[in-house]
């Protein structure tokens, strides 16, 4: 679901940034107190979880792959605005350091996966959970909400990709993504309605069930605020989350076992072989960002076998997690200093 550079026109990218900006602004305002508090490590841990879970590609019928995101899980546990911040942070780091998702498409990718996904998922969760829900009802509501959220994100990505040949063509050829809505929307929804959506629901449901059993205080009305999460703190929960995250990092090479690549994330030359020509606009933007040090989560010059790629995948997971903690810590320090000087 990570749209690369070149698949969306500059106009679409600018519009996506414009749509995402108010949500980022609101999330920044709502999460400041959380990031200043003892709950900041929880935000970093869940953002790192989202980053890592997106490395686990799952095979989709038709020879493509997809992945879970974890956005609704974060929204249910930490609050929807913390989810916007967490997943947006993961997506920006993926694009800059690993070339996963385009620099120009950060606005679109963030709107789909970091904004629409958790907000829709959380809204469905709240409606289904109702007032005074039982743990079982909360778990089911969270799983269903996450399934709805990731499929809305997939639909949005399909729409963004599919409108490109409607508006931007030259000499009868598409300038950017060459596939229209009749291809992009069904392809994105097939992958997520059948496999990725259930993977997202399973991850969310199992995590919420565990947290309800061990830390029910996270699900009180105050849990979305700094004081509620700070009261929980890290403690035993932090130890469990760190252990789970560490295990996920070690197991990330399992994502390499899924055959094929994700739809609409093909390289320019691969796309030329599929449609018979290179969209001119896509070709101009395809190599826009060439500074990703671990592009495609691989060490430079790595071979094509699983065992040759696995070390780069694990290293990328470690680097990504470390970067997320560094960003959250830096923001926390900056906010604390600003509060002292006010």
Q: What b/e sequence results for 127-142 when a residue is b if at least 16 CB atoms lie within 10 Å of its CB, and e otherwise? A: ebbeeebeeeebbbbb
Contacts of 232 (CB under 8 A, 6+ apart): 39, 42, 215, 217, 218, 223
Q: Scan for tokens 């790595």, then name that residue.
A: 302
Topology given in CATH for the domain delimited by 10-341: Arp2/3 complex 21 kDa subunit ARPC3 (1.10.1760)
Yes or no: say if 162 and 180 are a contact pair by the CB < 8 Å rule: yes
Degrees, nearest 5: CA angle 9-10-12:
65
Report pLDDT for 221.
Answer: 62
**Encoded tokens for 255:** 């994502």
Low-confidence ranges of the chain (pLDDT < 50): 223-226
pLDDT tens by residue, 122-166: 999 999 998 878 999 999 999 999 999 999 999 999 999 999 999
Going from the C-alpha of 95 to that of each of 5, 290, 320, the distances in angstroms are 10, 11, 11
Yes or no: say if 169 and 152 are a contact pair by the CB < 8 Å rule: no
Yes or no: say if 66 and 57 are a contact pair by the CB < 8 Å rule: yes
> What φ, ψ does residue 133 adopt, rounded to 5°?
-75, 155
Report pLDDT for 225.
Answer: 46
Side-chain half-sphere of 198: how many Cα atoms within 13 Å? 8
Report pLDDT for 224.
Answer: 45
Going from the C-alpha of 40 to that of each of 200, 245, 253, the distances in angstroms are 24, 16, 29
Tell me whether residue 338 is exposed, middle or buried, using C-beta atoms within 10 angstroms of its C-beta: 0 to 12, 13 to 18, 19 or more.
exposed
From the CB of residue 170, how many other CB atoms can be counted at a distance below 10 Å? 10
pLDDT tens by residue, 269-308: 889 999 999 999 999 998 889 899 999 999 998 988 999 9
The gap from C-alpha 341 to its chain's centroid, in whole angstroms, comes to 35
């Amino acid at each position: 679901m990570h749209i690369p550079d070149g698949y969306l026109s500059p106009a679409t990218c600018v519009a996506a940034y414009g749509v995402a900006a108010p949500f980022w602004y609101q999330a920044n305002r709502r999460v400041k107190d959380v990031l200043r508090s003892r709950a900041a490590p929880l935000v970093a841990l869940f953002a790192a979880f989202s980053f890592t879970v997106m490395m686990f590609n799952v095979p989709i019928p038709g020879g493509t792959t997809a992945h879970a995101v974890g956005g609704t899980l974060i929204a249910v546990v930490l609050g929807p605005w913390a989810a916007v911040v967490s997943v947006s942070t993961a997506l920006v780091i993926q694009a800059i350091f690993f070339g996963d998702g385009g620099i120009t498409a950060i606005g679109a990718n963030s709107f789909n996966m970091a904004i629409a996904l958790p907000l829709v998922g959380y809204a469905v969760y709240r409606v289904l959970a109702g007032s005074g829900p039982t743990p079982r009802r909360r778990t089911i509501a969270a799983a269903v909400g996450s399934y709805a959220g990731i499929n809305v994100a997939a639909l949005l990505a399909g729409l963004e990709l599919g409108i490109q040949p409607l508006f931007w063509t030259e000499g009868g050829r598409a300038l950017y993504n060459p596939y229209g809505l009749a291809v992009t929307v069904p392809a994105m929804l097939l992958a997520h309605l059948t496999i990725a959506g259930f993977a997202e629901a399973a991850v969310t449901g199992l995590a919420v069930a565990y947290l309800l059993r061990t830390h029910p205080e996270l699900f009180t009305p105050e849990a979305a605020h700094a004081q509620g999460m700070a009261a929980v703190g890290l403690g035993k929960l932090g130890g469990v989350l760190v252990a789970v995250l560490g295990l996920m990092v070690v197991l990330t090479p399992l994502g390499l076992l899924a055959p094929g690549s994700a739809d609409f994330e093909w390289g320019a030359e691969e796309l030329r072989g599929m449609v018979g020509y290179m969209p001119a606009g896509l070709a101009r933007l395809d190599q826009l960002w060439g500074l990703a040090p671990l592009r495609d989560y691989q060490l430079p010059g790595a071979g094509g076998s699983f065992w040759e790629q696995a070390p780069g995948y694990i290293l990328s997971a470690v680097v990504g997690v470390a970067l997320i903690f560094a960003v959250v810590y830096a923001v926390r320090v900056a906010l604390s200093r600003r509060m002292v000087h006010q």
